[in-house]
Amino acid sequence: MMKIPTEPIGSVPRPAYLVQALGAFSKGEINVQELSRLTDKALAETIQLFEQTGSPVISDGEQSKPSFVTYPISGMKELAPGGVVIPFADGHTRQLPKLTAGAFRYQQYANSYLDKAKTLTKLPVKQAVISASAISLLYPQEGIAGYTREQFIADLVNEAEADIRKCLNNGAYNVQIDFTEARLAIKLDPSKGLLKMFIDLNNQVLDRFTADERKRLGVHSCPGGDHDSTHSADVPYGDLLPLLFELHATNFYLEYAGEKDKAGVLAAIKKSLKPGQRVFLGVTDVLNPRVETPEEICNLIVDAAKVIPADQLGTCDDCGFSPFADDVSTAREIAFAKIKARIEGTALAEKKLA
């Protein structure tokens, strides 16, 4: 029987005690040892819950990350407030810091999260890393005295490569590069010049890996879920995908369940997908609290297989359920129910497509 691979995207909501502990730590009310104890507890519980879904591949649920984007710079001293602002449709914003001095170095590599997760399970563990293009937004428009943008980009490419390579070398099932700013780039610059610059920068990193290594590399793109809102859902996939599939990766993880024009999305994928690439369609809407049934998910997959070659098709969730540690918009039990439905729905589709 033909197998349809299915994988999580990344974050699941943290348990309430961890969210509370993170808030208390930021106020100096608990020490780092207590926070680490609670984080380790949440991680162990998350791995166990992932295993109970029947998922063939799991992640650490990003329990230990401050956010999917800021983990490499957490604790960095050479940062100041006032960086790029990311607006969401519901009116709230996220703001990045800006770099104040070089040389730029990651403070933490994603391999440290992978290392812990692997001690708690025998299942394959995938690891998400942030894209070089997202981190490039830290460099201020006004520049940095004594540290040019060209020097920063050279350092960034080295660090982004190291982030991925450490995970591959430590036995990650695969490495997913979070490129959620792709659609946002088109919104900010409809000429697509910014997106093309992002694609080029990420390819500088990807080109440092062999063809075999790139089989274990993937790229995730979505309209940026946060607090049940998005930053770029109004940007059509048809504008993004021809350039997105120019990335020198094998796997592409796309938000799909939350898309209104699913026929248009499938047509755009079919037109842009290259031989040797695989597209993982999101079949669970992480912004909708209703849990999909396995049958509904099966039907989504079977319909997609009428347009996309089944041997180039996989399934995933639309996005991480809680990309930022303070996002409690989705209940933890709902996230795992959706993951379980994805596993069961994918299995049903395999039987129908056999």
For the segment 218-239, the average pLDDT, to the nearest whole number, is 84
pLDDT tens per residue across span 156-189: 999 999 999 999 999 999 999 999 999 999 998 9
Using one digit for the tens of pLDDT, what is the confidence trace for 267-307?
Answer: 999 999 999 999 999 999 999 999 999 999 999 999 999 99
Q: Residue 229: is its pLDDT beyond 80?
A: no
Cα first-last separation, the chain: 5
- Is the pLDDT assigned to residue 226 strictly greater than 80? no
Counted residue by residue, the chain has a size of 354
Rounded to the nearest 5 percent, the helix, strand and coil shares of the chain are: 45, 15, 45
pTM for this prediction: 0.95
| Whether the predicted pLDDT of 190 surpasses 80 | yes
H or E element, residue 271: helix 262-272
Q: Which domains does the chain show, CATH number per domain?
A: 16-353 (3.20.20.210)
Q: What is the pLDDT of residue 292?
A: 98
Measured CA to CA, the distance from residue 100 to residue 139 in angstroms comes to 8
Q: Dihedral through CA 331, CA 336, CA 337, CA 339, nearest 10?
A: 130
pLDDT at 85: 86
Tell me, what's the pLDDT at 200? 98
* pLDDT higher than 90, residue 131: yes
- Rounded CA-CA distance 99/147 in Å is 10
Q: Quick check: 14 and 42 in contact, CB under 8 A?
A: yes
Over residues 330-343, the pLDDT tens digits come to 899 999 999 999 99
> Counting Cβ atoms within 10 Å, is residue 126 exposed (0-12), middle (13-18) or buried (19+)?
buried
Torsional sign, CA 185, 281, 6, 207:
negative
Question: What would the mean pLDDT of 193-200 be, rounded to a whole number?
Answer: 97
Share of the chain above pLDDT 90, in %: 84
Q: CB–CB of 140/185 below 8 Å?
A: no
Q: What is the pLDDT of residue 69?
A: 87
Q: What is the DSSP letter of 291?
A: P
Phi/psi of residue 157, each to 5°? -60, -40
Percent of the chain with pLDDT over 70: 100
**How many CB atoms neighbour CB 226 within 10 A?**
24
